[in-house]
Amino acid sequence: MTSRSRLAAAALGATAAAAPTLVAATSYVVRPGDTLSAIAARHGTTVSALAAANQISDPDRIRIGQLLRIPDTAAGLPGYTAGTPDVEQYTVQRGDHLALIARRFGIDLATLARNNGIGVRAPLRYGTTLQIPGRLGRVNALLTRIALQQGVNPKLVRAVAWMESGWQQNAISPTGAIGLMQVEPYTGDWISHYLSPRPLDLAVAEDNVIAGCMLLRHLLAIHGGDEQAALAAYYQGDASIARHGLYSDTLRYRSVITALIHQE
């Protein structure tokens, strides 16, 4: 990767306190096959927090159809100020209906309907924009799960993704870097060819995070586990560092990410 003017560079002026916290509770209806641990992971919270919020004494005993309150929590997030919108937008596609969209995002149908001021059986018009609540929890769960799968410190991955994009998959930099982890398309092609067992689509959030985690793991390996060196390489690129040394914005980038990690 080369040094680039992108979302991360713009974010260097922000302090670690600018990162998000969960700001809106939501709810979830237990479905067949659900477990409390799976529901907690899906919403970016913990089993203990979920059990406490719903007065559940035995985490192994939940019933189908039970309405659970998903608590406001900063557990597992890089710990931050309130005020960041905890929603994402979704544009209705042909063939969509509200129950399908609710399943796709892993949220309760009634909660989705209520947040958009419509009925649970209301027909959806193609091109309509829906507000999907609980974005931060879902992104947190995604980043944490893939980081663990790829053997990378989840705190590092969450902090890099926040610094790079503010946890926004639809973020595109002026140089074309894509998604949560702000991976350049040519870097994504290299990762798909050399590090991944399958091609990765940077436009898909899960693949984007996988690509970013694989790159971080690779950089940590070639720098002997030196996190600071790996972060500098992720932002500026080893070739650029060899030619020019560390840029001032690279130093600041590392500093802010380190502060985010230590806030957790």
- The better pLDDT of the pair 209, 173 is held by 209
Can you name the CATH fold of 7-17+137-263?
A: Lysozyme (1.10.530)
Q: Examine the pLDDT at 61 and tell me if it is beyond 80.
A: yes
Top-confidence residue, 36 or 230: 230
Q: How far apart are CA 30 and CA 67, in angstroms?
A: 6
Residue 95 has pLDDT above 50, yes or no: yes
Would you kindly state where each structural domain of the chain is located, as residue ranges?
Answer: 7-17+137-263, 25-70, 87-133
Mean pLDDT, range 62-78, rounded to an integer: 67
pTM: 0.70
Per-residue pLDDT of 172-200, as tens digits, reads 888 899 999 999 999 999 999 999 999 99
Same fold, 7-17+137-263 and 25-70: no
Residue 68 has pLDDT above 90, yes or no: no
Give tens-digit pLDDT for 4-25: 444 555 555 444 434 443 333 4
- Assigned fold of 25-70: Membrane-bound Lytic Murein Transglycosylase D; Chain A (3.10.350)
Predicted confidence (pLDDT) per residue in 45-54, tens digit? 678 878 888 9
* pLDDT at residue 212 in the model: 98
pLDDT at 136: 80
Instruction: Reply yes or no on domain 87-133 having CATH 3.30.420.40.
Output: no
Contacts of 142 (CB under 8 A, 6+ apart): 205, 206, 209
> Is residue 202 over pLDDT 50?
yes
**For 244-254, what is each residue's pLDDT tens digit?**
999 999 999 99
